[in-house]
Amino acid sequence: MSYIFVTGGASSGKSRFALERFKGLSKVAFIATGVSTDPEMEERIRNHRRERPAGWDTIEEPLDLIGALARVPRESEGVIIDCLTLWVSNLLYERSIGHGAVLSLAEETAGRLEGAAARALVVTNELGFGVIPANEECRLFRKLAGEVNQVFALKSAEAWLVVSGIGMRLK
């Protein structure tokens, strides 16, 4: 079974959209890539946890998405990965993994999702709609995040853009 790709700006309603797509399923594995780095991020993580149904499994994995997918319980009806942008950031800044290696991991992870038995959905941020970052490091991050998004979008069965809480199907 292939997967659904969901993108949009920050705080655009992507995560809520993802939860709605899996509404009614009792066994969903939620793979969270966020890392608590400051009080604001801690609050965002707490809010996201509260929004998920109590019976869902949460796998907190900032780096190894393939390993996280292997830890999804067999009885899971669905898998949500939220979010690719944080995953790319974690790989770059926590593990100092290079551009090419990140793209290779993206290809491999997207391939694993294509063959997953359970329904799957991937959430990410669209960074290309904003202003051009002022420094090279941020421009390189934006470029890599965009390339990772392209890998996942192209391999997905469906792709959605969420703006102001409204999902628009891209494919």
**With a threshold of 0.85, does the pTM exceed it?**
yes
User: Which of 51-55, 77-81, 137-141 bottoms out in mean pLDDT, i.e. has the lowest?
Assistant: 51-55
**Residue 15 and residue 160: Cα distance in Å, rounded?**
12
**Residue 126 and residue 77: Cα distance in Å, rounded?**
27
Residue 1 has pLDDT above 70, yes or no: no
Q: Under CATH, what is the fold of the domain 3-169?
A: Rossmann fold (3.40.50)
Residue 117 has pLDDT above 80, yes or no: no
pLDDT of residue 19: 94
Q: Which active-site residues does the annotation give?
A: 48
Local confidence band at 36 (pLDDT 50, 70, 90 cut-offs): confident
Question: CA nearest 155: which of 31, 14, 5, 17?
Answer: 5
How many CA atoms does the CB half-sphere of 58 hold within 13 Å? 16
* Better pLDDT: 38 or 169: 169
Q: How far, CA to CA in Å, does 140 sit from each of 101, 128, 134?
A: 14, 12, 11
Residue 150 has pLDDT above 70, yes or no: yes
